[in-house]
Amino acid sequence: MSEAVHDHELTVVVLAAGGGTRMKSKTMKVLHQVSGRSMVGHVLTAVQGVKPRRIVAVVGHQRDEVGPHIRQLVPDVVLAVQDEQRGTGHAVRIAVEALTERLMGAPLRGTVLVAYADTPLLQAESLRAFAQEHEAAQRAVSILSGVVADPFGYGRVVRGDDGDVEAIVEENDATRDQREIREINSGILAFDAEFLVGALPRLSNDNAKGEYYLTDTVKIARDDGLHVGAHLIDDVGQTEGVNDRVQLAEMGREMNRRIVTQWMREGVTVMDPATTWIDADVKLEPDVTILPGVQLLGATVVAEDAVIGPDSTLKDCEVGAGARVVRAHAELAVIGEAASVGPFAYLRPGSLLGAGGKIGTFVEVKNSEIGPGAKVPHLSYVGDAEIGEQANIGAGTIFANWDGVAKHHTRVGRLARTGSNNTFVAPVEIGEGATTGGGTVVRRNVPPGALAVSGGPQRNLAGWVASKRAGTPQAAAAEQALEGDTEPGGVPADDGEGH
Ligand code: UD1
Ligand code: CA
């Protein structure tokens, strides 16, 4: 399908020099993210999808941030610097100059596509179809045009009586009649390279904005008797730019709507698309179910039959088949097949939960491996630990990994059973099949199969409250109970000495 493009030499120029002042941000506009990827990153993904021979990016404002970002995404990009933004025609001229230098005098051939860096919905398919039509029609210039309800601010596509494209007229230079035209220049143009190289020096800045308009090449081609045409895009959204934070949010919602719709078409159940956010790089298998209020971010991958939500955020996580994640916040965590997380769990980077394992309610885990079938069900902190398969950690257990200076490691052997309200003072090891009593503070290693208990036997000091807390409601309650000579539950009072 893409043969025509492959046969020709295709160069894509991405314009990213403008400041984007309406964002009111210290971050350059095209670096702002939509669905977890920078706007320019989205455009470059689409551009790379057409497999061009080369990509040139024109940078200007904050080029020290924008340039390296683009280079990271497209290592062999040609970066052209436009110090002063003197118009789209000037920007493309800078791009062509940088290319000529790169080509060491060899002529630029084939097709040159120009796109903007702030149109994140742009798809490779659209660029490919546009380039193909441009080449098939052997035009000097092709315009990717769109029909919009409100054409204000756009360049209008002016057609003659025969319907042929005659010119693009910018908002500020348009007559009242021309302003009524609703077919607009999306900004994406295709050129015959040879024509473009000859036309750029012929542009003038004698217009309302005093800029070199790339769009004036249309008139130049017509005057030279060359073919010019426009290709209407159905989905104008793909060429829509973002200028401020309001549009950024709208764009984010629209891109998310497209991503979520795509996943539903691929077999993912999404109960509430409006509250489901899925980043562009997330991968899901069919029969994943997403409940309301879920954000799947970064490079998160979820395998079949897993159920995520409600109210969960997973960033750069891997979730195994059939796993269940309820009201959890997780980052750089791996959740095994058929494992269970939450409700109310916090998985920090390096949390690895084995198949069938459990990280339960009010549990925080960091840099720890919890083996297959092992469980940490309630109210615990697990840091820098390794918990063997099918071990069970009692409620309210703290893995005390930090001694105030350095972090230390704890190992719990397979099938160990630890009591409630334990503290494991790292570095320490609890052997395979060992047990610990409730409230144990484990400071020394526990051998396999042993029972560890700590703290002395319980002692009850009779009358302590009456002497130390005299006059309090607590003391009154105790006195009342003692008069009846029973403890709550009817058990005779203790004689006061420990057993
Ligand atoms: C441009 C088009 C207009 C089209 C509209 C679509 C021209 C003269 N006008 O108008 O026909 O309908 O886009 O959105 O081409 N840029 C540079 N260097 C410059 C100037 C611009 O890199 O010197 C970049 C900007 O960062 C931006 C893009 O080119 O990404 C468009 O520039 P902008 O000034 O927004 O053009 P518009 O006036 O919107
Ligand atoms: Ca614009």
Instruction: Please enumerate, by residue number, every residue annotated as part of a binding site for UDP-N-acetyl-alpha-D-glucosamine.
Output: 15-18, 29, 82, 87-88, 155, 170, 185, 243, 348, 366, 381, 392
pLDDT band at 499; cut points 50, 70, 90: very low
pLDDT band at 493; cut points 50, 70, 90: very low
The residue segments making up the domain with residue 487 are 463-499
Buried b (16+ CB within 10 A) or exposed e, 336-368: bbbbbbbebbbbbebbbbbbbbbbbbbbbbbbb
CA of 193 to the centre of ligand 1 (A): 20
Return the best residue to mutate from 28, 85, 114, 116 for the ligand 1 pocket (most ligand atoms within 8 A of CB). Answer: 116
User: 326-345, pLDDT tens digit by residue?
Assistant: 999 999 999 999 999 999 99
Query: CA-to-CA distance for 352 and 365, rounded, in angstroms?
Result: 9
Looking up residue 419, the CATH number of its domain turns out to be 2.160.10.10
Tokens linked to 190: 């295709």
Instruction: Please enumerate, by residue number, every residue annotated as part of a binding site for acetyl-CoA.
Output: 395, 420, 438
Residues 181 and 212 in one domain: yes
Residues 226 and 265 in one domain: no
Q: What is the pLDDT of residue 5?
A: 45
Residues 16 and 51 in one domain: yes
Q: Whose CA is nearest to atom 21 of ligand 1?
A: 88
Which residues, judged by CB distance below 6 Å to any ligand atom, belong to the binding site of ligand 1? 15-18, 58, 82, 85-88, 90-91, 116-118, 154-155, 168, 170, 184-187, 213-215, 241
Residues 267 and 158 in one domain: no
Return the DSSP state at 417: B
Q: Which atom of ligand 1 is nearest to the CA of 214?
A: 15
Residue 99 has a CB neighbour count (10 Å cut-off) of: 20
Instruction: Please enumerate, by residue number, every residue annotated as part of a binding site for Mg(2+).
Output: 118, 243
Q: Which atom of ligand 1 is nearest to the CA of 91?
A: 18
Q: What is the mean pLDDT of the chain?
A: 95
Q: What is the pLDDT of residue 485?
A: 61
pLDDT band at 1; cut points 50, 70, 90: very low
Q: Is the pTM of this model over 0.85?
A: yes
Q: What is the pLDDT of residue 41?
A: 98
Residues 6+ apart with CB under 8 A from 426: 384, 385, 399, 400, 401, 403, 407, 408, 409, 410
Residues 208 and 277 in one domain: no
CA of 241 to the centre of ligand 2 (A): 7
Query: Does residue 58 belong to any structural domain of this protein?
Result: yes
User: 176-192, pLDDT tens digit by residue?
Assistant: 999 999 999 999 999 99
Q: Starting from the CA of residue 244, give the closest ligand.
A: 2
Tokens linked to 37: 């990827």
Contacts of 98-106 with C-beta under 8 Å, sequence gap 24+, read 98/56, 99/11, 99/54, 99/56, 102/54, 102/78
User: 49-76, pLDDT tens digit by residue?
Assistant: 999 999 999 999 999 999 999 999 999 9
CA of 191 to the centre of ligand 1 (A): 17
CA of 489 to the centre of ligand 1 (A): 82
Q: What is the pLDDT of residue 280?
A: 98
Query: Does residue 458 belong to any structural domain of this protein?
Result: no
Residues 283 and 319 in one domain: yes
Residues 235 and 357 in one domain: no
Query: Does residue 1 belong to any structural domain of this protein?
Result: no
User: 143-185, pLDDT tens digit by residue?
Assistant: 999 999 999 999 999 999 999 999 999 999 999 999 999 999 9
Picking from 239, 269, 291, the residue at the C-terminal end of a domain is 239
Q: What average pLDDT score do residues 469-494 get?
A: 78
Domain count, the chain: 3
Which residues form the catalytic set? 378
Residues 235 and 294 in one domain: no
Residues 153 and 254 in one domain: no
Query: CA-to-CA distance for 285 and 394, rounded, in angstroms?
Result: 34
